[in-house]
Structure 1
């Protein structure tokens, strides 16, 4: 005779497996968010170094600018000969990166929306003064990890890990 349904031990085993998987879910979610945070930090650092290298190699000004004046939306790297911090119609666009994840990026001072590199690779403000500062990359979902990208006035970029969340 054919039986329909499950026996009690089979049902208990199924419930135990579901409970085990549900208990592991927060750990996987946290790991995924930390991975997004690290990737975004690394991508932004690579983009800043690329902009500086391109400025030196091409012997022209290059700007990396936050999309819609918010680094969290992404960035665009373009040729900017006259330090206008706006993309001219004939200016070359080297890279445009849009972000779709929930990572927050906040810059301080003149780095709140752009970084401009001169043909010699030095960061310069729109006024011509040297540019230095930092960008904090964080996520509201990861409260104990964030990263800081620090740009020196000579153009050197370094990365620092923070044990705090978003400010």
Structure 2
């Protein structure tokens, strides 16, 4: 009987896959790249949150103005407060806001008032009423103007990174026109 030559086991089945050293090198490179990308990712998230809060506040102001014109006034925009979110002063609107038909025009949401919209606290964003005195509510008249204030603005900026480049000022003129100013630009 002839003998057949069998190759050694290492030649019969060539190894497939990665060695432990190769795998560790790939993991190390991935960790370095992730660490380099993290700060810019945080900035992206902060900008997105400010933009989202600005859009929510803009939509709420347009709704309140339209409802005030439609209903002949009696619309109130009030800063929200709850047990899990409290703000320091009247000008701090970081807990959200509520729009309602204020039947007795006292500026407070009472039993007889109709809620039109409630916006929860914007996540990771400080919202401040900055032009004029800090106010906890505004009332719209039949012309869509808010309390004869002559104009007002809100300042929105990230809580985690109060970089001036990320902040936004939302300005409403006495006639009801909204503008958004980015960075250090202020409403006039």
Q: TM-score, normalised by structure 1?
A: 0.83
CA distance in structure 2 between the partners assigned to 1:113 and 1:103 by the alignment:
18
Stretches of 4+ moved more than 3 A in 1? none
Contact residue 49 and residue 122 of structure 2 kept, 8 A: no
Per the alignment, in what secondary structure is the counterpart of residue 143 of structure 2?
A: coil
Is the contact between residue 67 and residue 74 of structure 1 (CA under 8 Å) also seen in structure 2?
yes
Count matched residues: 159
Distance across 2 between alignment mates of 1:138 and 1:113: 19
1:105 is displaced (CA, Å) by 0.8
Matched residue, 2:3: none
Describe the shift of the 1:100–1:145 C-alpha distance in structure 2 as closer, same or farther (beyond 3 A): closer
Question: How far 1:73 sits from its partner (Å)?
Answer: 0.3
Structure with larger Rg? 2
Choose between structure 1 and 2: higher helix proportion: 1
Q: For 1:116, which of 115, 139, 146 is the aligned residue? A: 139
Assess if the C-alpha contact under 8 Å between 1:72 and 1:104 holds in 2. Answer: yes
Correspondent of 2:116 among 60, 78, 94: 94
Counterpart secondary structure, 1:105:
strand
Query: Does the 8 Å CA contact 1:56/1:121 hold for their aligned counterparts?
Result: yes
From the superposition, tell whether residues 100 and 41 of structure 1 become closer, same or farther in structure 2 (CA, over 3 Å). closer
Distance 1:32 1:135, change over 3 A: same
Question: What is the aligned counterpart of 1:34 among 41, 47, 52?
Answer: 47
Q: Of 179, 182, 187, which residue of structure 2 is paired with 1:158?
A: 179
Q: 132-141 or 34-43: which moved more? A: 132-141
Which residue, out of 124, 127, 146, partners 1:105? 127
Q: Does 1:78 align with 2:97?
A: no
The corresponding residue for 2:22 is: 9
CA shift, 1:113, in A, is 1.9
Specify every segment of 5 or more residues in structure 2 that has no aligned partner in the other structure, as ranges: 1-8, 10-14, 82-89
The corresponding residue for 1:55 is 68
Structure 1 residues 138, 97: CA separation in 2 closer, same or farther (over 3 Å shift)? same
Structure that is richer in strand per residue:
1
The DSSP-based 3-state class of the residue aligned with 1:23 is helix
